[in-house]
Amino acid sequence: MRNTAGAAPLPDPMSAKMVLGTYSRFHLRAMLYSLGQLLQNPLATGLTVLAMGITLALPVALDVVVKQISQWSTGIENSTQMTLFLDATTTEVQAKQLLQQLRRWPELQSAAYISREQALEEFRETTGVDEVVDILAENPLPAQIRVIPKLRLSQRGASDALIRKLQALPGVSIADLDLHWLQRLDSLSDLSWRLLWLLSLLFGLGVAIIAANSIRQAIENQRDSIEVSMLVGATRSYVRRPFLYTGLWFGLSSGVIAWICVNLSLLYLQQPAGRLASLFNQELSLFSYGLSSAKVIPIACLLGLLGARAGVGRYIRHLEPV
């Protein structure tokens, strides 16, 4: 076959030497083409990205809240103590012997002895009823040993066993610990984690479906172009590539939207949440969680990509000539 006038034979772009450069060009073209297509329809693109971003923002915000609840729960458990009220007949020597014994228990983190006088003084300070204390003929408060256990008090079985063991000690009248509210907090934390996973799964699926549907619409709009491209030798990968990049662009932009929404929300909630935390003697910095929630961006990219792949796959095969 003679060459056409004025046109020298071109090197084969799919030769072993040139294939890397060829695929780089394919990807660069697909990336820029898909971005251009999205920017040509700013309203439609913006609405899709907003829908995906807001959908993602909820599980991200819930993640921040759940992490904070877990942190509180752990902090409170670590500082919660049990009080052993000693018998009136227990002498100070016996109490201190008991204290030494308890300090050797592996289940206990620490133990401290509070004498009757110290207990009365604490009572005076916490209640402020000095006049009532002064008119008492004698100190009604028993000596106490306060212990901080190592185990998680919210583990009902373990904490009950420890209380019984302490109660059975000679010289101990009452072993006291109010676990109920702590167990409620721990249950709430567990429930929140499960809810987070469930919502993350559902909303993530929703985001992928939004991406898939948008891609299908884009394919339909470019149907003629796709059919002609396939007739002149485009592979499925070539046709698919720009749409996968479209999914990636959707994911990236919606991830950023979600991250911004979450951080703005946390900024708004920081003050009242901080006040609530202080009531539990806890510190709170919601905003630091917000910065770490940037992981939503790569997750959103992945969801966009998966959604695009799902939307493109079978539909492209449907458009193939044979």
Rule CB under 8 A: choose which of 224, 272, 314, 318 binds other proteins.
224
Q: Any idea what the Cα angle at residue 205 is, between residues 203 and 209, rounded to 5°?
A: 115
* Residue whose structure tokens are 């103590």: 81
Rule CB under 8 A: choose which of 179, 234, 256, 269 binds other proteins.
234
The DSSP output letter for 172 is E
CB of 29 to other proteins, least distance (A): 7
Backbone φ and ψ for 147, nearest 5 degrees, come out as -120, 145
SS3 category, 238: helix
6 binds other proteins (CB under 8 A): yes
8 Å CB contact between 264 and 63: no
Q: Give the count of residues interacting with other proteins (CB under 8 A).
A: 29
Question: Would you say 6 or 272 has its CB closer to other proteins?
Answer: 6
Rounded Cα distance, 118 and 122, in Å: 6
Contact letters for other proteins, residues 17-56 (x by CB under 8 A): -x---xx-xx--x---------------------------
Determine the residue type at 296.
V
Stretch that binds other proteins, among 8-16, 131-139, 174-182, 185-193 (CB under 8 A): 8-16
8 Å CB contact between 218 and 37: yes
229 binds other proteins (CB under 8 A): yes
Rounded Cα distance, 21 and 71, in Å: 51
Stretch that binds other proteins, among 12-20, 48-56, 68-76, 189-197 (CB under 8 A): 12-20
Q: Which of 26, 61, 104, 57 is nearest to 204 (CA)?
A: 57
Stretch that binds other proteins, among 122-130, 139-147, 223-231, 257-265 (CB under 8 A): 223-231
Binding site for other proteins (CB under 8 A): 1-7, 10, 13-14, 18, 22-23, 25-26, 29, 224-225, 228-235, 238, 321-322
